[in-house]
Amino acid sequence: MMLKIENVLSAAEVDQCRAIIDEGPWVDGNETSGHQSALAKKNEQIAQGSDAANKASALVMAALGRTPEFVAAALPLKVYMPMFNRYAGGQTFGNHVDNAIRQVRGTDVRIRSDLSCTLFLTDPDTYEGGELIVQDLFGEHQVKLAAGDMVLYPASSLHRVMPVTKGSRVSCIFWLQSMVRENAAREHLFRLDTSIQQLTVEKGGEHPIVVDLTNLYHNLLRRWADS
């Protein structure tokens, strides 16, 4: 499932985030790449562990925590610290797959990447190219969103970023391990959750069908989730 979530960051928060990261320190994007993706990746990213990275990551993490659609769709267990990258002057990231397992810097914590997330931080009218292309069995999906909007997609997908031929594209990317490992199971839960929310608005939270479906939701979560 690919999911677009709008307004994860408000316009003011996008500005705040950009004010933190635009000054850098920017380093070669291959600081965090796996072997195959290093061959395809040509961009810059904010140095991991820098003040700017820590502050901007904290801002994004706080926004994620108050975005119910993100929590419902991703069912996050562990989130790899958000990173910030920039493409300009024809920079690109060719077709690649994200590493399945990531170790958190300076710790022995490992995170399995179930979902990949891109949070756009640049007004799309100010740059050319830079579309995120995600491949699945239905073909290729092209994504270029407004600043503050985010896309979630299965980390198992091959994907790429088209060359940025004019202007620059700054965005935030991160991976997460979901409580529910299987994409299909996570999607069933999200759809059930969304239907329960709608039914609650129409019938009220006390309605027996709402109670019954909520019971079913939690029993499926109990069956499928790691915590």
Residues near Ni ion, by CB under 5 A: 98
Other CB atoms within 10 A of residue 93 CB: 22
Which CB sits closer to Ni ion, 120 or 193? 120
Round to whole Å and give the CA distance between 62 and 142.
Answer: 28
Q: Six-digit token pair at 210?
A: 């709402």
- Least distance between Ni ion and beta carbon 91 (Å): 14
Coil, strand or helix at 179: coil
Residue 159 CB, nearest distance to Ni ion (Å)? 6
Shortest distance, CB of residue 130 to Ni ion, whole angstroms? 14
Around Cβ 64, how many Cβ atoms within 10 Å?
Answer: 21
The Cα–Cα gap between 155 and 151 comes to 12
Residue nearest to Ni ion (CB): 98
**Measured from the CB of residue 151, what is the shortest distance to Ni ion in angstroms?**
12
Q: Which is nearer to Ni ion, 30 or 214 (CB)?
A: 30
CB of 214 to Ni ion, least distance (A): 36
At residue 132, the 3 state secondary structure works out as: strand
Nearer to Ni ion, 34 or 167 (CB): 34
Q: Tokens 């756009």 belong to which residue?
A: 120
Within 8 A by CB and 6+ apart from 110, the residues are 101, 102, 103, 104
Pick the closer one to Ni ion by CB: 132 or 189: 132
CA atoms within 13 A on the CB side of 135: 9
The nearer residue to Ni ion, 98 or 149, going by C-beta atoms, is: 98
